[in-house]
Amino acid sequence: MTPVKMLCAALALLLTGAAAPARAEPLKVVASFSILGDIAREVAGDRAEVTVLVGPDGDAHSFEPKPSDASALANADVLIMNGLGFEPWMIRLAAAAKTKAKYVTASFGANPRRLEEGGHNHAENHDHDRGEKGHDADGYPKAARDFDPHVWQNLANGMIYAQNIADGLAEADPEGALVYKANAETYIAELKKLDLWVKSEIAKVPAGKRKVITTHDAFGYFGDAYGVEFLAPAGVSNEAEPSAQALARLIDQIRQEKIKALFIENMSDPRMMETIARETGAEMGGELYSDALSPPDGPAPTYMDMFRHNVPVLVGAMQKN
């Protein structure tokens, strides 16, 4: 090949990569829950059709799949999961559907929060449903249950999600690799700006006032990243009821420390928090989006909107502590 021809070939390669041809059919992507679905859409652009199993305001912890969910998995090219025991039903469902799809674990590579052993309510919750032989009763490896799955509540981890999703989509659709990479870079730059904004907003609250009560323990990563202490009666799984004793302890703590920032989450049963509010005289600070987005016309239809909604309501409530 002459040098000119080589240059032409190299240029042609570059051009086809940069302006990746539209796929004849969009890549079929299934994401386990709404937050992952939104990040996947940002990264995929119009090269993929993203289906979400646990939709807006849905609780992935207690999700029960429908037959149509199994057929979505059977026909998918890529499955995107959070991992760390958040959606064990999806692994069972995908196996039953005999899918050939590529699996992407979005939280892979993020530094997981280890759950405390004993003395803490969520440890009780995740211990009692353990089965035999290194697996939970639901078939998920025990090790995954030792970690807090709510990794997305730190925007730095959202950046890891976007990167993992871009890599996974590129493997399933190599022609679109540069598109996914570029989309992920643009999106990650936006997340970085939002992360700085969150830090500057939280900094408005004196450190001693940064205490918040939520229904279930979904904000551990947020708390670690942004310097807020979250207390929750329902543990990380949102499934088991807290014991009367654990609830009484929490109510004592709220009274003693005069915590006023009480929140319900969009996907949790509000009754327990209403009881706590009555018992302590604290007012409800409003609703936080934790494990699911809102419908399109709600206050948190995207992952970034979730932070734009949650942060001001958290700051407002903590300032009253």
| CB atoms closer than 10 angstroms to residue 103 | 15
Return d(Cα 226, Cα 203) in angstroms, integer. 9
- Pick 151 or 194: Cβ nearer Zn ion: 151
Considering the rule CB under 5 A, would residue 115 count as an interface residue with Zn ion?
no
- Pick 78 or 300: Cβ nearer Zn ion: 300
Choose the stretch contacting Zn ion; rule: CB under 5 A; options: 45-53, 151-159, 213-221, 247-255: 213-221
Q: List CB contacts of 258: < 8 A, sequence separation 6 or more.
A: 321
- Pick 65 or 149: Cβ nearer Zn ion: 149
Considering the rule CB under 5 A, would residue 59 count as an interface residue with Zn ion?
no
| DSSP state, residue 136 | B
From the CB of 84, what's the least distance to Zn ion, in Å?
11
Give the angle 237-240-244 at the CA atoms, nearest 5°: 130
For Zn ion, which residue of 78, 273, 291, 294 counts as binding (CB under 5 A)? Answer: 291
Q: Closest Cα to residue 108, out of 86, 134, 140?
A: 86
From the CB of 233, what's the least distance to Zn ion, in Å?
13
Q: Closest Cα to residue 207, out of 185, 178, 227, 222?
A: 227
| CB atoms closer than 10 angstroms to residue 66 | 11
Considering the rule CB under 5 A, would residue 72 count as an interface residue with Zn ion?
no
Q: Report the site for Zn ion in 238-267 (rule: CB under 5 A).
A: 238
Considering the rule CB under 5 A, would residue 42 count as an interface residue with Zn ion?
no
For Zn ion, which residue of 218, 282, 311, 314 counts as binding (CB under 5 A)? Answer: 218
Binding site for Zn ion (CB under 5 A): 218, 238, 291
